[in-house]
Amino acid sequence: MKRKIALAIATLAVTLGGTKLLQDEADGPTKQANLTIDPQSVTALAASLDPVDIVTQPPAVQAPVTIRPEAPPEAAVMPVEAPACPVALEVVASPDATLGLTLIAPCHVSERVVLRHGGLAVTAMTSATGALFTSLPGMEPGGEVAVHFNNGDSVRGAEPLPDLGLYRRFALQWVAQDRFELVAFKNGIRSGDEAAHNLQGLPKDGGYLSMLGDATTPLPMQAAVYTFPLSRDVSVDLTIEVAVTDLTCNRELLGEMLLSEAGVLSKTDLTMATPSCDAIGDILVMANPLPDLRLASAR
């Protein structure tokens, strides 16, 4: 009985195996081609492991990764350096109530500048290095000076003039071709010959005439300043003269007069109508402009 049962089981197994084989063949060669594997390329990974070492592990669950956009770097504000262009004005007062000026302006080379002090306004030229060394007669006790540049910038300085109370100064200023001449007569003698562009070396107790402003600048602004002598024994008469030329004839000349008495300043506008150009060569004379303004003509 046992042998019959075993034979029946074996027969069933063979029958099933044959059926499986026939089914595989019926599926066709295409499916076999897709499943062909080279045995030599198979590595038996489990062959070297003990049965206890083979443990089926559930797949590791990877934590979700949050991708954040990279933050842009902080914007760095770089300071813009201004060009190294310092401007300095030094004002020094001298015992004779004059102001010495030292201007250092390396970005204003060979440039026309305007100097202002106590009502005075005159032009000057800086050097090829932007420097200027000059002087001005004191007109007001604070000794304030301003230098104006072509681009509208300016620099200021000041130095008090404690000795200005001893002085009396008369100034006559003009622009461009509206040129006037200031003449002083000391004790009846014409004394215009001591005119100087630099006040250094002039007598402190005697009267003297100073010419201010650079006539070579574009639109020159000039002035003539007379400092009266300290001695009351010297009499001084002032006159204003205008030469009739092809530049001054048949027009109206404009100027300004300034009087500083012990630091107290007063201003008066000056207007002079010149004759026709037929009078070229004549000289117009305004005698004694301080007490009263009188105009005369002389050949």
- Cα–Cα nearest to 171, from 256, 293, 284: 256
Rounded Cα distance between 204 and 100, Å, is 16
Instruction: Reduce the DSSP state of residue 51 to 3 states and report it.
Output: helix
Alpha-carbon span 59 to 279, nearest angstrom: 120
Host H or E run for residue 201: none
* Residue 91, CA distances (Å) to 48, 88, 105, 131, 138 in order: 102, 10, 15, 14, 11
* Residue labelled with tokens 């109370």: 165
Q: Which residues contact 221 (CB under 8 A, 6 or more apart)?
A: 114, 121, 122, 123, 173, 174, 175, 213
Res 45: pLDDT: 38
Name the token pair of 113. Answer: 């500048």
Q: How far apart are CA 264 and CA 266, in angstroms?
A: 7
Q: Are 258 and 119 in contact (CB under 8 A)?
A: yes
The two structure tokens encoding residue 110: 């060979």
Positions in the chain whose pLDDT score sits under 70: 1-83, 188, 191-206, 232, 291-299
Report how far residue 250's alpha carbon sits from residue 177's, in angstroms, rounded to the nearest whole number: 13
Helix (H, G, I), strand (E, B) or coil at 77: coil
